[in-house]
Amino acid sequence: MRNALSGWLALVAVAAPAAVPYPVVRPGITLAFPADHGAHPGFRTEWWYVTGWLRTAAGEDLGFQVTFFRTRPPVDAANPSRFTARQVVFAHAALSDPATGRLLHGERAARVGFGLARARTGDADIGIRDWRLRRTPDNRWTTQIFANDFALALDFRPTQPPMPQGLAGYSRKGPRPEQASYYYSIPHLRVAGRVRRGDRIVPVTGEAWLDREWSSDYLAPQAEGWDWTGLNFDDGSALMAFRIRRKGGGTLWAGGALRRPDGITTPLGPRDVAFRPLATWRSGATGAVYPVSQEVSIRVDGRIARWRLTPMFAAQELDARRGGLPVYWEGAVRTPGGRGYLELTGYNQALRM
């Protein structure tokens, strides 16, 4: 589960849903690869979301995220213009460097047409101008990102099969069954590549997590935002947990999954997941207060397991409003026996999707 779109995405999404027949997400599908790595252009929104920890040869830790969103605005399909915004692609990338305590980020957006942006079907290949994320036939994922302050050229090699979320890939997000998405993750991706900060290019290795999700009706109107985490444990197990917060407080929905090293996956329902804030950080830029350190508890087989998430550093807020995305917190976190990312949305302003 992923993402943080509002801005354009919200504008696109709320307008005249009746005019465009978006497919509805229903249970009972079977994910098929590599087709489901590729785009599902009928759905309103979709994303490819890679987060992970990197280590340089000098032993420095870095966090990174590379995100591509695809949306289908409610435009008239009869428009013969090449500019028609049949599909719009947004991308976002960030690099967390604990040495500076700062987050570098960059963004791109474009409507398809004129070959400037693409989101192919059949297999993963999505890009805007020179930014790109794709899967090669030898099952390697690769990305190139060129922002002002930094650049990423990373390869991701899966070490485990994809991990369908919810009911075989049908992941419910709210009280109504159509408030849901198709969702799978690929945890434990082995990373190799290069990172440029300023003019300095260093080789890196590390471990990442890919989230793939597509939906037409993601967020219930009474939802404010969500907390999400995806953790790669050193023993090869993986945990995804989220909760959707209700406007005015409380939890509207929750869910997740735990996959053991042997491949056995336990889906987690709304009663099986809890988030407890341990420490907050107030953003000087936006004034938003984020619970950057949380305790995640899940109930598996009648027992409660708890993990304490500690951020790499506190200031991992992203103000992506210029690029049509909202203000949110997306940070590298540590936990005993594992590492991953924590995403906190809707803390500055309620999200609309």
Partner 1 sequence: MAAEPGLLSGRLALGWLIGGEWRFHPARFLTTAIAIAVGVALGFAVHLVNGSALASFDGAVRGVNGAAELSVTATSPLGIDERLYPQVLQGAGVADASPVVRLDARIGGNRLTLLGLDVIRAAAVTPSLVGIPPQGPASSSDGVFDESSLFLSRTALERSRLAIGDRVTVTANGRNVPLRVVGTLPAAEADAAIGVIDIAAAQWRFERIGRIDRIDLSLSNRRTAEEALAQLLPADAILSTAQARGAQGSALSRAYRVNLDMLALVALLTGGFLVYSAQSLSVARRQRAFALLRTLGMPRRAVVAAVVVEGVVIGIVGGATGLAAGYGLAWSALHWFGGDLGAGYFGGTAARIVFQPAAAAGFFALGLIAAVLGSAVPARAAARAAPAAALKNAGDVLDPRRAVAWWPAAVLLAAGGGAALLPATGGLPLFGFLGMALMLAGGVAGVPWFARSLLAPLARRRGGSVPAMLAIRHLHGAPGEAATALCGIVASTALMIAMATMVTSFRGAVDTWLGQVLGADLYLRANAGASFDPATRAHLAATPGVDRLAFSRQLPLTIAADRPPISLIARPERGGRDPLLVLVERTSSLPASALPVWVSEPAQRLYGWDPGETIILPIAGRTRFTVAGVWRDYGRQAGAVLVDEADYQRLTGDTGRDEVSATLQPGSDATAVGKAMTARLPGALRGQVDVTQPAVLRRLALTLFDRSFAVTYLLEAVAILVGLAGVAATMSAQTIAREREFGMLRHLGLTRGQLGAMLATEGAVVGLTGALAGIGLGLVLAQVLIHVINPQSFNWTMTTRVPLGTLFGVAAALTGASAATAVLAGRRATATGAVQSVREDW
Interface residues with partner 1 (CB under 8 A)?
8, 11-12, 14-16, 73-76, 79-85, 88, 109-111, 114-116, 129, 322, 324, 350, 352
At its nearest, how many Å lie between partner 1 and the CB of residue 163? 33
At its nearest, how many Å lie between partner 1 and the CB of residue 1? 23
Residue 79: burial class (beta carbons within 10 Å; 0-12, 13-18, 19+): exposed
At its nearest, how many Å lie between partner 1 and the CB of residue 321? 10
At its nearest, how many Å lie between partner 1 and the CB of residue 111? 6
| Contact (CB, 8 A) for 132 and 143 | yes
Cβ proximity to partner 1, 8 vs 347, nearer residue = 8
Cβ proximity to partner 1, 104 vs 117, nearer residue = 117
Cβ proximity to partner 1, 76 vs 199, nearer residue = 76
Three-state DSSP class for residue 175: coil
Structure tokens at 133: 């994320």
- Residue 25, CA distances (Å) to 11, 34, 121, 182, 305 in order: 21, 20, 18, 7, 31
At its nearest, how many Å lie between partner 1 and the CB of residue 48? 19
**AA identity, residue 12:** V
Cβ proximity to partner 1, 8 vs 53, nearer residue = 8
Q: What are phi and psi of 288, to 5 degrees?
A: -70, 145
Residue 100: burial class (beta carbons within 10 Å; 0-12, 13-18, 19+): exposed
- The torsion of the CA quartet 69, 67, 176, 301, rounded to 10 degrees, works out to 160
Cβ proximity to partner 1, 7 vs 187, nearer residue = 7
Cβ proximity to partner 1, 271 vs 322, nearer residue = 322
CA angle, corner 163, sides to 157 and 167, nearest 5?
160
At its nearest, how many Å lie between partner 1 and the CB of residue 251? 20
